A and B are shown apart, each in its own frame.
Chain A
Amino acid sequence: MKTSATMAGPETGTGPGGTNRLFAAGEYAGFSSHLHTYGPLAADQAAPGLIEELEFSGLTGRGGAAFPVWQKMAAVAAGHSAVVVANGAEGEPLSFKDQMLLQHAPHLVIDGLLAAAAAVRATRLYLYTGEAGLAPVRRAVAERSDARKIRLVQAPDTFVAGEASTVVNAIRTGTALPLDRTQRLSETGLRGRPTLVHNVETLAHIGLIARFGADWFRSAGTGRDPGTRLVSVSGDVAVATVLEVPGDAPVEDILLAAGTEPASLSAVLAGGYHGQWTGPSGANLSASGPEPQTIRPGAGVLFAVGRHHCGLAATAQIMRYLASQSAGQCGPCRFGLPALATAWEQLAAGEGSPRLLPELQRLGLLTAGRGACHHPDGTVRMAASALELFAPDVRLHLAGRCNRQEAAS
């Protein structure tokens, strides 16, 4: 990460130029370099009209679901005594952008949290993140006088820790398990109050839009995917890295920026373990747009698989991990995911029978949509995209062969 030389500075009232926005204040930015780079932000003054500005900005949630940010806020603002939670529980093992953001730009996240809270007239503010994220946030909170009201809550290191109902449950009871949801959190969340849960990167963008406006935000990215986003790039790459990229960026451009030749890869998992497998070129990472020309960024993840690695073996490993991360509350997830993982391991090992594919299909239908949270659904969707992208490998594996080096033993 390098500090920005392109920023315009607060005197001009315009935000950082280019796509180096969130980290423009430099590494481990303290409050003074934060203020020097972006200028001050008074949450109360930023609040009037903020939701409308966010609507014009087109900002979507950066935690995975890419829901329009203003819509969630408008729903919460309609109620009383709202709660706002900055969600930095990065349970996705392929994602490390939120931790990097809290390390280097905690003040931007705090700005966004305070502005969003003022806009929905919230009376309770929380920041929920893992142990590693809490330390820089604690330091940042101590540097300023307006952030003492933020309550810091430690998130456990589990896959489902960041799921919205889990976040509310963890803050309320200390138990980080998903809740059976029959009403929206924006209507009745923490202790029955309207609750807004935004990813920390989403809040950092709000902190910038509150200063520089929607037009500035939209000066990066495209109409269907405005602004910038952080992407964690890992797997068969030279160095795992976090990049801030414009919305709607071609996947191959992001790989090249990460120092990886797309032609050296056979596939990319976009979005994270609940994401979608795609080729290393030919698609743009965008919150909206037709498939297969665009692919959803999810939590902002690109996981690269080199030509010498078997995508089915990689998927089987991910399936076993995701089965282990079932909270165990919901039967179809608790039993369905391990059964799916076992079938995937058979496929990866080339032990398949002709019945394996129909069985994968059947188990997927039994598991998806039958849980309190979307863990089973996201897992089944990712697996289905693997069968589609790796169809030639599937045929070979069912015949007991694999043309990748790291095949079945």
Chain B
Amino acid sequence: MSRTNLHIDWTRCDGRGLCTELLPDLLVRDDWGYPLAADPSLDDKSNIPLGRDDEPAAAEAAALCPRLALAVRRRRP
């Protein structure tokens, strides 16, 4: 487990869905097309914990998001 999260800025997200295609193991789409954590047990649905293997794809999704709504961030202590 790495020490990063994928942060979703809901004020920017428009539900284009690119991230859910790039990160199919982490994100699914909800009723309205917005990214939804695939793990339903997560408490924080806006900051999805990343494994080390997830980081490159997550970084790519953040870079490609047309709304700049994603960011890979260090987890808060």
Binding site for B on A (CB under 8 A): 177-180, 182, 329-333, 335-336, 339, 365-366, 368-372
Contacts and interface: CB of A to CB of B under 8 A. Distances in A.
B31 A369 contact: no
Contacts, number: 51
A180 B11 contact: yes
B9 A180 contact: yes
Interface string B1-23: 00000011111111100000000
B53 interface: no
Contact of A370 (B14, B33, B46): B46
Interface in B30-69: 30-34, 36, 40, 43-46
Interface of B: 7-15, 30-34, 36, 40, 43-46, 71, 73
Given A331-B10, A369-B46, 6 more contacts: A177-B11, A182-B7, A331-B33, A332-B32, A339-B31, A369-B43
User: Which secondary structure dominates where chain A touches chain B?
Assistant: loop
A179 B46 CA distance: 13
A331 B46 contact: no
Contacts of B15: 331
Contact of B45 (A179, A180, A369, A372): A369
A182 B73 contact: yes
Name the residue among B9, B11, B34, B71 with the largest chain A CB count within 10 angstroms: B11
B6 to A, nearest CB: 12
B17 to A, nearest CB: 11
B36 A330 contact: no
User: Which secondary structure dominates where chain B touches chain A?
Assistant: loop
Given A331-B15, A366-B30, A371 B10 contact: yes
B34 to A, nearest CB: 4
A177 B46 CA distance: 18
B10 A370 contact: yes
B19 to A, nearest CB: 13
B11 A335 contact: no
Given A332-B10, A332-B30, A366 B44 contact: no
Contacts of B46: 369-371
Contacts of B45: 368-370
Nearest to A370: B45
A365 B30 CA distance: 11
A180 B14 CA distance: 14
Contacts of A335: 31-32
A90 B45 CA distance: 28
A23 B40 CA distance: 49
Nearest to A363: B31
Contacts of A177: 11
A207 to B, nearest CB: 33
Nearest to B47: A182
